Structure 1
Amino acid sequence: MARPKFIPDNFTLCLIGAVILASLFPVHGQAATAFNWLTNFAVGLLFFLHGAKLSREAIIAGATHWRLHLVVLASTFVVFPLLGLALKPVLSPLVTPALYAGVLFLCTLPSTVQSSIAFTSIARGNVPAAVCSASASSLIGIFVTPALVSLLITNQAASGGSAWHTIWNIVLQLLVPFIAGQLLRPVIGRWIERNRGMLKFVDQGSILLVVFGAFSESVNEGLWHHIPISALAGIIVVSALLLALALGITIFTSKKLGFSRADQITIIFCGSKKSLAAGVPMAKVIFASSAVGAVVLPLMLFHQIQLMVCAALAQHWGARDMSGERDAHAGDESRAGGTKRTAAAVRR
């Protein structure tokens, strides 16, 4: 029986449940530390499985897809900051100056890595290109984001510390498991191909863990207690507007530039998303501690909205492609049956 058109799919319902659960029962203290380790393990397992699944030829093709990577990087580090500046007359009445600085900071951040790749996989996009593009965005953002902040936000206060630990976290959590999966591909590659359902479970499971953990952190920081309802509503409107514009621009640009459907999906997900995991530590380094809360609040809300919206898009596009493949397969079988019946009639 087909699901009614306006009823969310099971995965989207799980995402909503994760947000509600994190709002009511956020993890904190030792439980938060343990949950963080669990999330890191799930993300590492995701990259290990993708490393074991992807052929060397596919990875090389993804890494050399320079047109796609340029479009993603331009969307992340050029289009987003320009949108933040151009929308100031619209955004200023909705949010305070401190929160608008947070919106500009959001616009300078790199793309997400794990959720961009997971959504690309679910939507049946170009996963090798997504791995390369999202990872490159995170590494480049370590240097580009502080430079953009210094240009766009004139009242930021620098604090002590270094962002170089972010490089180590990316290497340890993402690249090392991916390389390990690649090295073990000759041993487990065929088993991974036979158990693709497990990879989908890890894709979706890692996203749910990221949603719950990120929202728990937001709630523990007083998300629902220390801001006026009007300011919260304004940030939600701003976040939705920015995401809608980014999605529209990446969809339009990727089509106009003649990319394949798989590449379009990769550009849309990698070019329209912002990283909470990279943004929070960068904010702690770039801004004074008293300013960090207001700066990261727009990012936290944008992060939740982008996960919900992109999850729905990924599920819809993935299901549509699978339906198309089934229809094509049924058509091939029908044509083959017609050919056999025609041949039998000729013989008679």
Structure 2
Amino acid sequence: MAAKLKVDWFLLGMVLAVFLAWLFPDPGAKGGSLHPEIVTKVGVALIFFLHGLALPFESLKAGTLRWPLHLVVQGTTYLFFPLLGLGLLWLVGDRLPGDLQLGFFYLCALPSTVSSSVALTAAARGNVPVAVFNATLSSLLGVFLTPLWIGMMLKSGGQALPLGKVILDLIIWLILPLVVGQLCRPWLGGWAKQRKKFIHKVDRGTILLLVYTSFCDSMKWGVWSKHGTGALLATLAGTLVIFWVVFFFSSKVCDALGLPRADRTAAVFCGSKKTLASGVPMAQLIFGAHPGLSLILLPIMIYHPLQLVICGWLAGRWAEREVKENPEALQAA
């Protein structure tokens, strides 16, 4: 119940952030009193510093040796997902607004989640060290692979993305704070462990601030008055299709490789997830003050709660099955 309430708090916060952007777009828009060009980068750095501070390096080392499994997860995240996105966009053609098309592809090019992948894998009694390693590796690879995929798509449409500058920004504002957080663990790791709830609130609160600033420019430019409910319904349908296709694909690949159930659980949960926590900051750095940024972020904002609800339900079912078939698992837990 506590986990569900936390999810509800964050989802309500996202709705409130969008509502505030609709009521008061000026402070968070480009040139506004909140100075979003500064707040964005400081917020991104804070989020990834906290991630580095909270992540035990020992958990990473424990999951490093299962390379066939790692290839399944990273291949699903950075190859199958983007190719699926391209295929779906080819099918729908111009029936979706251009910024929403870019948003769907951005969703498909994003890294996996860290915290929810690990938490759901643990809840389903899967291989937690493997989940920690793959979720973290996915975040690091995303600094390079996500902008590369976005750059390829924009180039095919006659647009350009300054890849060098974008990747350098991502390294400075994502990777560097993450490394600094890891380096600070000997001094601040105990403090962070005792204050997990506080760090979680700061992390989520910063993301909500970035959601607010991301929507402000779109509200001022009247993007939503052009698309409205149709864009929302199309996004809901599209994200559902994407999730179940990827989930089915990763499950069949794991079955074909004969992976143990615990490994399969980690692979499916890590491979089907996409990160909102990194997706919003990365979008701010990649797209800047793009007037259609709210439409670009819409698919990941809908995919995020969708994946948590479905995978949370599955984790409960799989955990019950594991306990019934292997009673010793309950004692080990």
Question: Who is 2:226 aligned against?
Answer: 227
Question: Who is 2:158 aligned against?
Answer: 155
Given candidates 208, 213, 218, the residue that maps to 1:217 is: 213
> Aligned equivalents of 1:210 and 1:256: distance in 2?
41
Question: Who is 2:172 aligned against?
Answer: 168
Distance 1:98 1:45, change over 3 A: closer
Pick the structure with greater CA Rg: 1
Contact 1:81 1:104 in 2 (8 A): yes
Distance 1:88 1:310, change over 3 A: closer
Q: Give RMSD over aligned pairs.
A: 4.1
Question: Who is 2:14 aligned against?
Answer: 19
1:18-58 Cα deviation digits (max 9, x unpaired): 1222123347343866687467435423431222xx52xx4
Question: Who is 1:144 aligned against?
Answer: 148
Question: Who is 1:135 aligned against?
Answer: 139
Distance 1:10 1:101, change over 3 A: closer
Question: Who is 1:240 aligned against?
Answer: 240
1:30-45 residue pairs with structure 2 within 5 A? 30=34, 37=42, 40-41=45-46, 43-45=48-50
Given candidates 283, 304, 326, the residue that maps to 1:307 is: 304
Contact 1:276 1:300 in 2 (8 A): yes
Contact 2:239 2:299 in 1 (8 A): yes
1:324-339 residue pairs with structure 2 within 5 A? 328=327
Distance 1:141 1:45, change over 3 A: same
1:86-165 residue pairs with structure 2 within 5 A? 86-88=87-89, 90-92=91-93, 94-97=95-98, 99-107=100-108, 109-112=109-112, 116-123=113-120, 124=122, 125-126=128-129, 127-141=131-145, 144-145=148-149, 148-149=152-153, 153-158=156-161, 162-163=165-166, 164-165=168-169
1:34-73 residue pairs with structure 2 within 5 A? 37=42, 40-41=45-46, 43-51=48-56, 54-55=57-58, 58-73=59-74
- Length-normalised TM-score, structure 2: 0.71
Query: Per the alignment, in what secondary structure is the counterpart of residue 25 of structure 1?
Result: helix
Shift in Å, 1:162? 1.2
Query: Per the alignment, in what secondary structure is the counterpart of residue 218 of structure 2?
Result: coil
Report which stretch shifted further, 169-178 or 272-281. Answer: 272-281
Contact 1:236 1:301 in 2 (8 A): no
Distance 1:316 1:233, change over 3 A: closer
Contact 1:22 1:213 in 2 (8 A): yes
Distance 1:47 1:64, change over 3 A: same
Flag structure 2 segments of 5+ consecutive residues without an equivalent. 22-26, 123-127
Report which stretch shifted further, 132-141 or 308-317. Answer: 308-317
Query: Per the alignment, in what secondary structure is the counterpart of residue 244 of structure 2?
Result: helix
- Length-normalised TM-score, structure 1: 0.68
1:162-194 Cα deviation digits (max 9, x unpaired): 12121122222223212432x459x849x94xx
> Aligned equivalents of 2:42 and 2:7: distance in 1?
24
> Aligned equivalents of 2:205 and 2:281: distance in 1?
13
Q: What count of residue pairs does the alignment treat as equivalent?
A: 303
> Aligned equivalents of 2:300 and 2:306: distance in 1?
10
> Aligned equivalents of 2:253 and 2:267: distance in 1?
9
Question: Who is 1:338 aligned against?
Answer: none
The residue identity in structure 2 corresponding to 1:11 is K
Contact 2:50 2:181 in 1 (8 A): yes
Contact 2:49 2:177 in 1 (8 A): yes
Distance 1:261 1:103, change over 3 A: same
Contact 1:22 1:215 in 2 (8 A): yes
Shift in Å, 1:14? 1.2
